[in-house]
Each structure stands twice: as structure tokens, then as C-alpha cells.
Amino acid sequence: MSGTRPIENLALIGFMGTGKSSVGRLVAQLLHFTYLDTDQVVECRAHKSISEIFEKDGEPTFRQWEQVIVEELIHRKTTVISTGGGLPINQGNLDSLKTHALVVCLWASADTIYERVRDHDHRPLLAELDPLAKIRELLSIREPYYRQADVLVNTERRSVREVAVQVIHQFHMAQAAYR
């Protein structure tokens, strides 16, 4: 990697349950960066939970919120950006993040994701009779987008700290390469 691409921020993408929020918070703490979670910003702006937005306004409205927030991020510096799992499916969002951030995708298998999210009920897309089938379906649709990340990090059988340390290592390498 060499060139002049600015790496001001670090963006975490990946499917629900891959650990973007927990890894992102730790990475931000270790790098002394600001932590920003796009889901939290949407909820704050909309004054509603994500489940309420999906239920009352529909998924397209939620995706519009995400796009607006991504557009605003181009002005950020020293920020760890944790994104909602469907945000990079909008190619424009992915391209925009890459103009200022190293984009790191956290990866896990469908079975592992299912084990991690099965006891949570705040994800409207997984409120299905067969959540594992839904995870498999969404993962196969989304994989081509996730694979466009600068770096893919496997989170299987690894602690949050182990993943965070690898993410930071990749970030330092990218900053050095693009300097």
C-alpha cells in the first residue's frame, strides 16, 4: 500500500454480532480516538430506537438516516466509526468512508453470529421465525460489499482485546504506508 490516501479515521464494518461496537470502543480507548456509532447517532437524531424506526417509518428511512450521517463523517478526524451491519450495502457509503478512513471488516461465520445474537431482541432484521436462515441469506448478499474493506479481520474464537490489537496494528501499518 502506498500513495496519498488520507487515513484520518478507522471505520469498522461487518455483519450484526461481529463485535463492531465492543471492538470499536476498545480501539478508540487504546488509540485515544473519539468513538462514534452510526446506530446511536441515528437513534439520537430520530428520537426513536432502531426497532421503532423500522416499524413506524420503514427500513428505507433508516437507510436514508445512515447515508446522511456517512456524508457528514468526511469532516471527522481521529475517530473510530462503528457502523450498522447494513450500512456498506449502499456502495456510496462504502466509497465515502474510504476517502478518509481505513475500512476494516470484522468477520464471523453465520453459526457464530447466530450464537452471539440469539438472545438479543433489538435487531428488527433478525426478528424472524428462523433467524439463522436470515443471517445466512443476508450474509451471502452482503459478502461482496464486506469484502471491499481494506482489511478483513476474523473474530472467530478471539477475544475483543485480541481483535482490537490486530485492528490497531493494521491501522498503524496503513497510516505508515499512505504517509
> Which range in 2-10, 82-90, 105-113, 144-152 contacts ligand S3P by CB under 6 A?
82-90
Nearer CB in complex with ligand S3P: 76/124: 124
- CB hemisphere CA count around 84 (13 angstroms): 26
Map residue 89 onto helix, strand or coil: helix
Amino acid symbol at 137 = E
Cross-strand bridge partners of residue 12:
82, 104
40 near 56, Cβ under 8 Å? no
> Which range in 83-91, 106-114, 128-136, 157-165 contacts ligand S3P by CB under 6 A?
83-91
Interface residue with ligand S3P among 30, 46, 125, 168 (CB under 6 A) is 125
- CB hemisphere CA count around 148 (13 angstroms): 15
Contacts of 146 (CB under 8 A, 6+ apart): 13, 14, 15, 88, 105, 107, 152
Nearer CB in complex with ligand S3P: 9/86: 86
Nearer CB in complex with ligand S3P: 52/162: 52
> Which range in 71-79, 104-112, 117-125, 127-135 contacts ligand S3P by CB under 6 A?
117-125
For residue 98, the minimal CB distance to ligand S3P (Å) is 19
Q: Is 88 in the site for ligand S3P (CB under 6 A)?
A: no
Please, which of residues 12-31 interact with ligand S3P by CB under 6 A?
16, 20
CB-count exposure of residue 119 (10 Å: 0-12, 13-18, 19+)? exposed
Positions that interact with ligand S3P (CB under 6 A): 16, 20, 39, 50, 84-86, 123-125
